[in-house]
């Protein structure tokens, strides 16, 4: 900020208000001399003497009142000029005074013209001027004062919009407490009043004055012409000037809003609306800035979620294992970018050929929190699986660790952990609150659920899990591990997919590969939804015995 800019910012409110008052005074004298009954030389001298005393007095009064009112504004500008921090209390007071200053100054202007509307008629009456001159002085002062006051407000509002960025760099004019504001409809009403009602009242005053004049009609007509012309020029000038001011004060902020919205539409979220008014348009600018900030945060969140999705996808097996005598395939689909479903293939302790550990889990909830718990459970399970012990001991140890992590959050995780031994033709499993795995024997066309008791992980750290087993695995048998996102999937009518539909698909595709069975089940679930957005993650592992 240069010294010249500092001087302009400090004094432009007072300067433009003074210009408005001066134009009003000039208009008063022009209309007086262009009336149907111009003042006599004696009245002219009296008017000059009154103006010589009255106007400087009121000028000094307005200057003094303005300087006192602007003290917080001027002190803040001085600190800005010296690149010093403005104290919060002073900054808040300066912002309030700046927004209220147009109202304060037009109140002073109104007081000036009301005083003139009293002083001039009383002085004319004291000097025995005619009733017409006295009445005209009152009406003209009043009407010109109203017009000038309205014009001055819109001029000062324009000045305010130029000063606002220095005091409101981030907007927020609308929410500043203890301030007055003029809504758009109030501005339009003031514009209509100044452009239509004031000239109309002036015309009525001229007609009324002409009816009282005892003049020859031809002479009266000659006098009416310049009076009507002067008032018409005054009304048109006020109308054009106010229309330019009001339209500019409204369209400038709207153009700024449109500019930013176009940038947002093109994906540029670093642009902000330069808010310079405390009306509905200024509030709209603040809301758009808040919206843009929200979009930026959402954009950051989206990038974070994409990264989280990429990380979590790496937690899932990249390929299906190759185990002699088994055909294995697995897949997990999340209803959000991240999820709580989990499946893995484990090497349990001293893993021998023909053995594979398969685990499927489901964390309560969805999203980032579920993904974090899933990652923690996966890490604990993998580390513990490398040590000695059966799967019941492994799950019990993981439960103790997980409970200590989530006991305050109320989160939990269901788990089905199994070990398939091809050589022993045996499957062992531990069920921790999870849905049972499904065993289908194609030779007998029979389904069996691998059940067992066990609480979900993260609920009771002292829980000891029990291991179950089944012997006699044979060629053609299919073991299906899944989460409830499959059979609890629903369509638009609210119908559930159900386990019966799952059994039919397994039976129908029993002769196909594990990967084809997984694809058939996933496609059937997707088709069943009929476009309904899934509300739960879907995880499926199919093991087909091919010994």
Q: Residue 329 is part of a domain; what is its CATH number?
A: 3.60.40.10
User: What's the maximum distance between 2 C-alpha atoms anywhere in the chain?
Assistant: 132
**Residues 66 and 15 grouped into a single domain:** yes
> What's the start-to-end Cα distance of the chain, in Å?
86
| 227 and 321 in a common domain | no
> Are 217 and 340 members of one domain?
no
Predicted pLDDT of residue 400:
92
**Shared domain check, 230 and 342:** no
pLDDT at 172: 85
Helices 184-192 + 217-265 axis angle, to 10 = 160
Q: Does any domain span residue 293?
A: no
More confident residue, 15 or 124: 15
- Give residue 109's pLDDT band: very low, low, confident or very high (50, 70, 90): confident
Domain co-membership, 353 together with 501? yes
Question: Does 308 have pLDDT greater than 70?
Answer: no
Same domain, 459 and 530: yes
- Model pLDDT for residues 91-104, shown as the tens digit of each residue: 999 999 999 998 89
Q: Would residue 294 count as lying in a domain? A: no
Per-residue confidence at 29, pLDDT binned at 50, 70, 90? Answer: low
> Is 311 within a domain?
no
Contact between 90 and 69 (Cβ < 8 Å): no
Q: Is the pLDDT of residue 75 over 90?
A: yes
Q: What is the pLDDT of residue 215?
A: 58
Binned at pLDDT 50, 70 and 90, residue 41 comes out as confident
Per-residue pLDDT band for 320 (boundaries 50, 70, 90) equals very high
Q: What is the pLDDT of residue 405?
A: 83
**Count of domains forming the chain:** 2
Q: Which domain holds residue 458?
A: 317-545
Residues 192 and 46 in one domain: yes
Cβ–Cβ under 8 Å, residues 415 and 434: yes
Confidence category of residue 448, pLDDT binned at 50, 70, 90: very high
Structure confidence at residue 206 (pLDDT): 62
The pLDDT value recorded for residue 32 is 56
**14-23 average pLDDT score:** 79
Residue 186 resides in a domain = yes
Q: Is residue 464 part of a domain?
A: yes
Mean pLDDT computed over 16-29 = 72
Same domain, 279 and 322: no
Q: What is the pLDDT of residue 208?
A: 62
Residue 246 pLDDT level (bands cut at 50, 70, 90): confident
Asked if 252 and 331 sit in the same domain, the reply is no
Kindly state whether residue 104 falls inside one of the protein's structural domains: yes
Rg (CA), the chain: 43
Q: Could you report the per-residue pLDDT of 182-220, keeping only the tens digit for each?
A: 788 877 887 777 777 666 666 666 666 555 556 566 666
In whole angstroms, give the CA distance from residue 236 to residue 165: 33
Q: Is residue 307 part of a domain?
A: no
* Mean pLDDT for all residues in the chain: 84
DSSP states along 397-459:
HHHHHHHHHHTTTT--EEEEEEEEETTTTEEEEEEEBSPPEEEEETTTTEEEEE----PPBTS
Q: Are 119 and 170 members of one domain?
A: yes
Helix then strand count (H, E) for the chain reads 13, 10
Contact residues for 368 (Cβ-Cβ < 8 A; gap 6+)? 305, 308, 338
- The answer to whether 360 and 541 are in contact (CB under 8 A) is yes
Phi, psi of 328 (to 5 degrees): -125, 135
Q: What whole-number distance in Å separates Cα of residue 544 and Cα of residue 479?
A: 6
Of 119-128, 383-392, 476-485, the poorest mean pLDDT is in: 119-128
Distance CA 503, CA 517 (A): 11
Per residue in 397-425, pLDDT (tens digit) is 999 999 988 877 788 999 999 999 998 99
Residue ending a domain, choose from 232, 267, 288: 288
- The answer to whether residues 398 and 488 belong to one domain is yes
Query: How sure is the predictor about 526, in pLDDT bands with cuts at 50, 70 and 90?
Result: very high
Question: Are both 346 and 495 inside the same structural domain?
Answer: yes
Residue 214 inside a domain? The answer is: yes
pTM, 2 dp? 0.58
Residue partners of 165: CB distance under 8 A and separation at least 6: 274, 276
Q: Which residue has the higher pLDDT, 437 or 135?
A: 437
């Amino acid at each position: 900020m240069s010294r010249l800019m500092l001087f302009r910012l400090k004094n432009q409110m007072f300067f433009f208000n003074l210009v408005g008052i001066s134009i009003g005074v000039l208009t008063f004298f022009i209309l007086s001399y262009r009336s149907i009954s111009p003042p006599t030389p004696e009245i002219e001298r009296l008017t000059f003497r009154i103006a010589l005393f009255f106007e400087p007095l009121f000028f000094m009064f307005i200057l003094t009142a303005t300087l006192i009112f602007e003290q917080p504004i001027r002190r803040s500008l001085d600190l800005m000029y010296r690149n010093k921090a403005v104290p919060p209390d002073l900054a808040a007071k300066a912002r309030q005074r700046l927004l209220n200053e147009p109202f304060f100054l037009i109140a002073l202007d109104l007081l000036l013209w009301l005083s003139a509307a009293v002083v001039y008629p009383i002085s004319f009456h004291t000097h025995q001027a005619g009733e017409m001159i006295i009445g005209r002085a009152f009406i003209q002062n009043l009407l010109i004062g109203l017009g000038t006051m309205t014009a001055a407000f819109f001029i000062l509002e324009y000045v305010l919009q130029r000063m606002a960025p220095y005091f409101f760099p981030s907007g927020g004019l609308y929410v500043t407490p203890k301030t007055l504001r003029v809504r758009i409809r109030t501005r339009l009403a003031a514009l209509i009043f100044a452009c239509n009602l004031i000239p109309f009242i002036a015309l009525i005053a001229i007609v009324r004055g002409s009816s009282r004049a005892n003049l020859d009609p031809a002479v009266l007509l000659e006098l009416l012409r310049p009076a009507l012309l002067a008032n018409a020029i005054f009304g048109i000038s006020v109308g054009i000037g106010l229309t330019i001011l009001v339209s500019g004060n409204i369209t400038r902020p709207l153009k700024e809003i449109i500019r930013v919205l176009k940038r947002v539409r093109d994906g540029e979220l670093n642009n902000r609306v330069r808010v310079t008014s405390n009306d509905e348009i200024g509030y709209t600018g603040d809301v758009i800035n808040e919206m843009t900030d929200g979009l930026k945060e959402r954009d950051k969140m989206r990038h974070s979620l994409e990264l989280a999705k990429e990380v979590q996808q790496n937690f899932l097996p990249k390929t299906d294992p190759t185990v002699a005598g088994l055909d294995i395939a697995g897949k997990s689909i999340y209803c959000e970018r991240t999820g709580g479903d989990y499946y893995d293939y484990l090497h349990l302790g001293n893993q021998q050929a023909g053995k594979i550990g398969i685990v499927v889990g489901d964390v309560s909830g969805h999203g980032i929190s579920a993904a974090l718990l899933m990652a923690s459970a996966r890490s604990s399970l993998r580390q513990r699986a490398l040590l000695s012990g059966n799967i019941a001991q492994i799950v019990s140890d993981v439960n103790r660790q997980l409970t200590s992590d989530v006991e305050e959050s109320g989160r939990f995780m269901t788990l089905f952990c199994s070990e398939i031994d091809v050589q022993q033709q045996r499957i062992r499993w531990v069920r921790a609150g999870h849905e049972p795995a499904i065993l289908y024997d194609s030779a007998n066309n029979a389904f069996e659920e691998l059940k067992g008791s066990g609480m979900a992980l993260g609920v009771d750290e002292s829980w000891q899990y029990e291991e179950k087993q089944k012997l006699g695995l044979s060629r053609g048998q299919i073991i299906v591990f899944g989460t409830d996102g499959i059979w609890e999937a629903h369509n638009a009518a609210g119908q559930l997919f159900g386990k019966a539909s799952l059994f039919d698909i397994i039976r129908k595709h029993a002769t196909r590969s594990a990967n084809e069975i997984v694809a058939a089940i996933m496609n059937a679930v997707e088709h069943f939804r009929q476009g309904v957005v899934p509300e739960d993650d879907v995880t499926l592992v199919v093991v087909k015995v091919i010994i």
